[in-house]
Structure 1
Amino acid sequence: MKTKILENKGLLVFLLIALLFPLFSVSSSSVLYTGTLVLIYVIITNGLNVLIGYGGQISIGHASFLAIGAYVSAIFTLNFGISFVLAIILSGLVTALIGFIVGLPAVKLSGHFLAVATLGFGVAVPEVLLKWDAVTGGFSGLFPERPIILGVVYDTDLKLYFLALGITVIVTLLINNLIKGRIGRAFVAIRESEVAATSMGINVPFYKALMFSVSAFYTGVAGSLYAHFIGFISPHDFNINISFTVLAMAIIGGLSSKIGPIIGALVLTFIPQFTDHVPGLSLVLTGVAMVIVILFLPEGLASISGKFKRKSQRKRKNAFFTNEERVKAGEKSVL
């Protein structure tokens, strides 16, 4: 219960900082650009957290779901004149359908076998997009237009930032409600023990496929937002490094945590901004951060505040007992 209260407070603090963030970045559009990118990664990591953190399944091919969402949105808006709002919903639904299809054969796999299967999917999709140049543009890529909602053109960094923030808040609320509901409880039960989940009447194969579908849906939404935010997409933008980066965000931030995806996205999006002058340094720091977190903070950086609080409570408890012992010792000496 206390952990949930801390996480809810953390979400409110993040929202407050996010709302005030543009005030501190008016002098630099690159800072606002990075902030928008952080929000997009928060959505992706939230989607991955549903699969790994709450469902206990592994995926190292999530960049492919991101690519599918981006290309679906770009193709619908450019070729069919569909509005951005409808395109982002369709991107999520199409990606969710593909995620469900991918999840069906994956339900019989686990551990490193599932990791290899998702890796194969992650490698295959960019190659398909590259060869299907009649639709995707191949090497030339596509140039999605800026989002237009109710006649408002989101053509500035500030407008795009607040659009990304609004979508991030909606996605976070939807995922939190999902996890608290019957579907979320089924996911957690499967993560804890598939045998026990089956004995409770949970259709494990169906819910495993559903995990992939839900996770893919939110990643597809992020892909749509990414495409219209960047303004250009090509198959090389969705390589396997993106999948590893998002996985690292989920692990470093903290799996099965509300605030974890936000912390992970913040850390691993801003690290390259300070280390881009040294080639490869950001990858090294990411690897080092993952090793440190896995060794000393298995529950991620989101667990730090809880650890400090428990430590202070133990100190207060020990101090209380020490005072009691002193009082008893004083009573004995008087007697």
Structure 2
Amino acid sequence: MDMKRDYYEDIELFSSGTILFWTVVLLVALFAAPLFLSNYHAYLFNLIMVHVIVAVGLNILVGSTGQIALGHAGFFAIGAYATVLLMTELSIPFFAALIIAAFIAAFFGFILGLPALRLEGPYLAIATLAFGLAIMHIIGHVELFGGRQGLMAPALNIGIPQLGLDWEISSEKGKYYLILSITILMTLFAINILKTKAGRAFVAIRDSDIAAEVIGINLTIYKTLAFAVSAFYAGVAGGLFAFVLGFFDPFTFHLILSIIFLVMVVVGGLGSVMGSIT
């Protein structure tokens, strides 16, 4: 086992030159891929990357903090609906709408994290499952959200229209580059957050929440923070997902979707950011 000898080795992004080299090779391949892909295959890659963003965020909650969750389809739905409604009803630019929607999802994640202070294991899983089902039920019965008829995503324009800087992304390959860039940023953030004080607190809670509390870790703060960060990721992914599909309804965010997200984390390896990607 390669032990870290000092703090700076522990926080460095790439532990060796070999890993850095292959990471660069992978990134070059990913950015060059659309040159050889059809629009349909670019669409499939877009779906994969959206799911990867959710899995990376869920891994922070399940893999690093040890909090089981089966309701991330709910946060995914919040991100999708909030992004589209902010753009269509309030004329907010795409990136601003996406970030606001992600923070809305994070707020609900914080609220859902409160039961985690008293619930564990299957009981927490049931609570999060109920949240996901409740969100699907609510958006299906509120006219603002389109009810069972669903919503149509507007044109994907990036930039600042008020300043005359506005570019429409209509092709699947154009969306590919946008989603890939966001996926890379979200992955780097996840890797770095696990190297911070908060990340170490997450791992301590996973290993033993009683021991973590004894050494001074505030369980209320860090458990709810883990839920909020994970929900933020799902919110970002949901906003992107809305534009990948173009149209969605409440049944798009069904229970099986939450299970798929959890399986991605478990199969990839609990606590492994790169495992969630591969």
What TM-score, normalized by structure 1, do the two folds share?
0.74
8 Å CA contact retained: 1:91, 1:221: yes
Distance, in Å, in 2 between the alignment partners of 1:251 and 1:179 is: 18
Shift in Å, 1:95: 0.4
Distance, in Å, in 2 between the alignment partners of 1:10 and 1:249 is: 23
Which position in structure 2 is the counterpart of 1:195? 210
Q: Is residue 23 from structure 1 mapped to residue 27 from structure 2 by the alignment?
A: no
8 Å CA contact retained: 2:65, 2:205: yes
Unaligned runs of 5+ in 2: 4-13, 160-165
Which position in structure 1 is the counterpart of 2:146? 137
Distance, in Å, in 1 between the alignment partners of 2:194 and 2:106 is: 17
1:221-272, Cα deviation, whole Å (9 max, x unpaired): 1101111221112100000010011111111112211211111xxxxxxxxx
Report matched runs for 1:285-324 at 5 Å: none
Structure 1 pair 12–52 and aligned structure 2 pair: CA distance change class (3 A): farther
Q: Secondary structure at the match of 1:180?
A: coil
Which position in structure 2 is the counterpart of 1:231? 246
Which position in structure 2 is the counterpart of 1:92? 102
Report matched runs for 1:35-184 at 5 Å: 35-132=45-142, 134-150=143-159, 151-184=166-199
Q: Secondary structure at the match of 1:149?
A: strand
Structure 1 pair 101–223 and aligned structure 2 pair: CA distance change class (3 A): same
Shift in Å, 1:4: 5.3
1:126-152, Cα deviation, whole Å (9 max, x unpaired): 0011011x2101111111113211211
What TM-score, normalized by structure 2, do the two folds share?
0.89
Which position in structure 2 is the counterpart of 1:255? 270
Distance, in Å, in 1 between the alignment partners of 2:191 and 2:213 is: 24
Larger Rg: 1
Structure 1 pair 100–60 and aligned structure 2 pair: CA distance change class (3 A): same
8 Å CA contact retained: 1:7, 1:258: no
Q: Which has the higher contact order (CA 8 A, sep 6+)?
A: 2
8 Å CA contact retained: 2:39, 2:172: yes
8 Å CA contact retained: 2:67, 2:116: no
Structure 1 pair 42–7 and aligned structure 2 pair: CA distance change class (3 A): farther
Give 1 or 2: higher helix fraction. Answer: 1
8 Å CA contact retained: 1:178, 1:184: yes
Shift in Å, 1:199: 1.3
Shift in Å, 1:215: 0.2
Over 6 Å off, 4+ runs: none
Unaligned runs of 5+ in 1: 264-335
